[in-house]
Each structure stands twice: as structure tokens, then as C-alpha cells.
Amino acid sequence: MSKQRTVYCGLVNDELVGQTITLKGWVQKRRDLGGVIFVDVRDREGFCQVVFNAENLSAEEMEMADKLRSEYVVEVTGVLNERDGAQTNPKIPTGRFELFAESLTVLAKSKTPPIYIEDDLDADEEVRLRNRVLDLRRPKMFNNFKLRHQVTRSIRNYLDNLEFIDVETPYLTKSTPEGARDYLVPTRREAGKFYALPQSPQLFKQLLMGAGFDRYYQIVRCFRDEDLRGDRQPEFTQVDLETSFLSQSEIQAITEEMLKEVVKATKGIDIVEAFPTMTYAQAINEYGVDKPDIRFEMKLVDFTDFAPESEFGVFKSAVSNGGQVKAINLKGQADAYTRKTADALIDVVKPYGAKGLAWMKVTSEGFNGPIAKFFADDNSSNVISERLNAEEGDILFFVADKADVVAASLGELRVNLAKQHQLFDPNALAFVWITDWPMFEYDEEEGRYVAMHHMFTAPQNANPEEVKANPAEALAQAYDIVLNGYEIGGGSIRINNLDMQEQIFDLVGFTKEQAEEQFGFLLNALEYGFPPHGGLALGLDRLVMLLAQEPNIREVIAFPKTGRGIDLLSNAPGYVENAQLSELHLNIRSQKD
């Protein structure tokens, strides 16, 4: 008969010393010291050392203890003792205790595991994902998911106290255009028709506002068929919320206080200052990206007005063709770069369209480097030094190109250099709001304007005719929340006026028939007294990743996909039987066909 567990291995304490207790868990290590066997037993909360000797155990049980191996599952009962001072292990919380076993039961045996169950694991990620069940046994991984649980619990408690209502929305829904590609789900009941998995509950949460729910939230799975990276997965979890009758500033305030509650509950940090705010234009101008990492300075500095006066032809040419010249100053790091290593940084900016990366060092005798001769006169030297606050020991980097290329290139170089030279506190949490987003951006390939956020975002200008007449200048009532250089959430005030929604659809290229076909259910609802409303969605996985200080979102998702979208544990996606395809009215063509 199995005995009831008294306590987790990692939670034994002084109160249990001298008592007979039962532990259950996995064998972490086994050491035979000649007649006495020491075994570290591990569960989700940590380790406890167990001592097996012939004084307390039968010969049969000692033989079992001798055969214990890594990852065997055991049940051990015995008396908890406090170790002598010299024998304590200060590296673990239970290092002052050991259990003298009086009975042993082997609950399950294990093959030799393909990976070690330890935090400092040097194993290929594909091996880890293929053996995810073992990988998740590591204490570090459990702590990540304990943190994730604390985050979601804190969010639910906060929103519940503000009278938000948790409402589930459909997973099988309608495929609608814009945004990323949908994951499609065929149905056997309607030949040739497909459901789509939701990229977000956007339209449903707006309909809930039209239904009078007033405050909705949901911690919900979303699906997007897009290229993957370290902070993106094909299926992800977001904290989705929507409100009626609240302004942008009120929604931001609710979100900000919720994030402060999360940080306090999970990290013990009490953030009292208001999150800083900057406009989209300021973020692009000073940081090169719409999700700036403000833990360090190194802002982009504009030299476009100065370039025509310089003797450097590359700068002049870029500006004469309508481009920009900007620079950043990596302070005090000039000696860290040779000509070869500085030139090699072109590889950082090249993927963002930059054709070159100019640089020069600041020395006691002036500028030094490949382009220094073009800025040797006092006027040039003074302008550059003053704008960049350039001092001896600094190294300056310049990009001259189209405005979007300059921003993206220097924005990426700025972050790359900061990581390389450890210019920020990795424990810092730097939140910032990005507001006043453009309503639209022009898609050169499509030859039309597309919504920067989505087509249901309300413009700051309430006159639909004026928005339609000048879409390039229209600003949205939209706001993103950024943490340490990652966008962790975004939202907007939504359109609640039928005329405005129809004008926006028209502006982005939808005919009335197409709008009715795709969004008729929303347009119909807007005719029945729709309240002013707005909301926001937070990326839960990304937020937990940052709080856990993990470099990859896969470390905080229990069963993630690879960068190619493959689940190595279950080998999904996979082929299915022809009978299943036939039921769904599908026929798969071969590559040859």
C-alpha cells in the first residue's frame, strides 16, 4: 500500500526534524560509500538527501537501494534528522537535513535519460524539445512555469477586483483578411468550407461591448501562421481585455496598474513611478524602432541637415536622394575595436537594408578612422562632437540611406552594441508607452494603404471624410506597451460609428460587397447603439519570458514548436489517412502535380 506523502522533498524544514515522514520523487544522484548509500530524491520543489543503511533497512531493501539509478521513481519513509555542521550543504535550501530511510518502495524504473536533469544543461535545443517531458523536470523549467502561474493569478485577481468578466470566445471562427495568415480548419459538414483559428478575439470582444458586457477579459490562445523567431510562436497566449465608455488614458492606467501588480507579486519590486510615454514618431526618431529599449541611452542623432555641407560624398548623395544621415555614439569603447572588428559590424545592419556603416573614433588628437579625413575641419568636428557628446575614447557609427533603412539599421546596431558591452542592468524592468501611431502605412506591393494596427482602430480625427482625404497624416487612437525592447501589448480605441467603419474599409481597398461578406456581422451590430469602447491585448508568453530573464519564448511554453513550426515531441504536423481527407472533401496534390 502506498503511503501518503508528508511534504515535498524541497520543503522539509526544522519543524519536521525527529518526525517520521514520507517523501516521493525521482532519484537525482546515488552515492555508495561502502555499506551506506546516499540518494538525492527530487520533486518539483527541490531535493532532500536520503540515507540508506543496514541498521534501518532489510537486506532486500538495501539491495533495492543499491540498484537505484537516475530517474527511478521512489517512495521513502524514515526519520528526518539535522546534519552535523560540517556535513551541511549551503547550496540548497534543504542542505541541513537528511532522511534516514526505514522503508523503500520503487514505484517506477527508468532507462538512462538522454539529457541530464539539471539546470546547467549543455544540450542541443532539438534534443531538449524531443525529450520535453524530461526537460520540464529541471528545477529551472518548473520555476519558469511557477512564475507563469503567478503572473496569470495576479492578472485574474486584479481584473476580477475591477469587475471584469471572463468570457470565452470561439476557437473555430471565420477567416478574415489583414494581419498574418490564418490557420484553416476544414469541416466535413460543409464541403469546401473552412473555419479559421482566431489570430485574436478582436471582433468578438467588440461584439461583447455592443452586448453591454462593459468589461471583458480572457486569457486566451491565439494562432498566427507567420515566420517564427525567438519571441514568437504559431500558437500563443494573450491577456485580452475590452472596456466600454473608458478613454485611452483610463485604459492605459488600468493596464499599467495591472503590470505593476504583476511585477510586485512575482518579483517583489514595487514600481511607484508612472510609466514614461513617447510618441511613435519620437521612438522612431530617437531609437530607430517602435519598441525601444530605454534601459540605456545611445540615442540616434540626426545629421541630415549637416550632411550637404560635409565633404563626404556618401552623406551628400543619400540626402540629395531624399534620405537621412544619423549616428550613434558608443561611449568609452573605442579601444575595444580594431578596424577589422568595427568594419565587421556591417553584418549587423546589412539585413536591414544598409549598404554601408561608417565609423570613426574620438582620440586626443581628433577623429580617427576611415571617414575621419572628411570631418577634420573645426566646424565639422565641433558639430559632430556637440551633437553626439563625443569625448575621447568614444566610437561613432553612421548610416546614410532611406529614412526607414537608417532607423532600422541603427536601431538594431544600438541594441546589439548594448548587449555586447553590457550597457544595461539585466534585472531592470523598463516599461514605456508608445502612442500616437500612424493610422495607416502604404504597402508598395499592394499599391494601397493598410491599417497599421487593424481596421477597427479609431482615428484621432473623428471626421471620416478628412481621414479618407489625407490617410498618410492620419493618427490612430492606438497605444503599445513596451518592456525592455519588446512589445508586450497593444491596443486602441475602436470605431463605434458605422459611417467611419465603412469609410475605413473603403480606404484600405474593400468594396461594400467585400466588407459585408467579411464583416457583415460587425457592421450589422454597429447599427444598434454601439457604445464607445477600447481595449488592449498583452502577450503573456513574452511577458513571462522577460520576467524570467529567458532569451527565448520557448522556455516559458510547456510544449513549444521549433523555429520551423514543428512539435518535436509529438512530430506534429503529420500526414493523415486518405479516409480522413475524404471525409473533409480534401485531396492532397503531390509536389509533382
Residue 374: which residues within 8 A CB-CB, separation 6 or more? 310, 311, 312, 380
d(CA 300, CA 412) in angstroms, rounded, equals 11
Q: Mean pLDDT of successive 10-residue segments in the chain (593 residues)?
A: 90 96 97 92 96 93 95 97 84 92 96 92 91 96 97 98 98 84 94 94 97 98 88 94 98 98 97 98 98 97 92 93 97 97 97 96 95 90 95 97 97 98 97 97 88 94 93 97 98 96 93 93 96 98 97 96 93 93 88 51
Cα atoms in the 13 Å half-sphere on the side-chain side of 193: 9
Nearest in space to 348 (alpha carbons), one of 399, 302, 294, 390:
399
pLDDT for residue 555? 96
- The pLDDT of residue 503 is 94
What are the phi and psi torsion angles at 23 (to 5°)?
-115, 150
Q: Annotated binding residue at 130? A: no
Query: Is 473 among the annotated ligand-binding positions?
Result: no
Identify the CA nearest to 384 among candidates 420, 413, 358.
Answer: 358
The domains located in the chain, with CATH, are 14-108 (2.40.50.140), 296-423 (3.30.1360.30)
Q: How far from each other are the two terminal CA atoms of the chain, in whole angstroms?
A: 62
Measured CA to CA, the distance from residue 268 to residue 60 in angstroms comes to: 49
347 appears as a binding residue in the annotation: no
Q: Which residue has the cell 521549433?
A: 562
User: What pLDDT does residue 1 have?
Assistant: 65
Contact criterion met (CB below 8 Å) for 194 and 187 = yes
Q: Is 149 annotated as a binding residue?
A: no
User: What percent of the chain is helix, strand and coil (3-state, nearest 5)?
Assistant: 35, 25, 40
* 542 annotated as belonging to a binding site for a ligand: yes
pLDDT of residue 400: 97
pLDDT of residue 59: 92
233 is in an annotated binding site: yes
DSSP states of 2-60: PPPP-S-GGG--GGGTTSEEEEEEEEEEEEE-SSEEEEEEEETTEEEEEEEETTTS-HH
Q: How far is it, in rounded angstroms, from Cα 235 to Cα 561?
A: 9
Read off the pTM: 0.94
Ligand-binding site membership of 226 (annotated)? yes
Does the annotation list 513 as a binding residue?
no
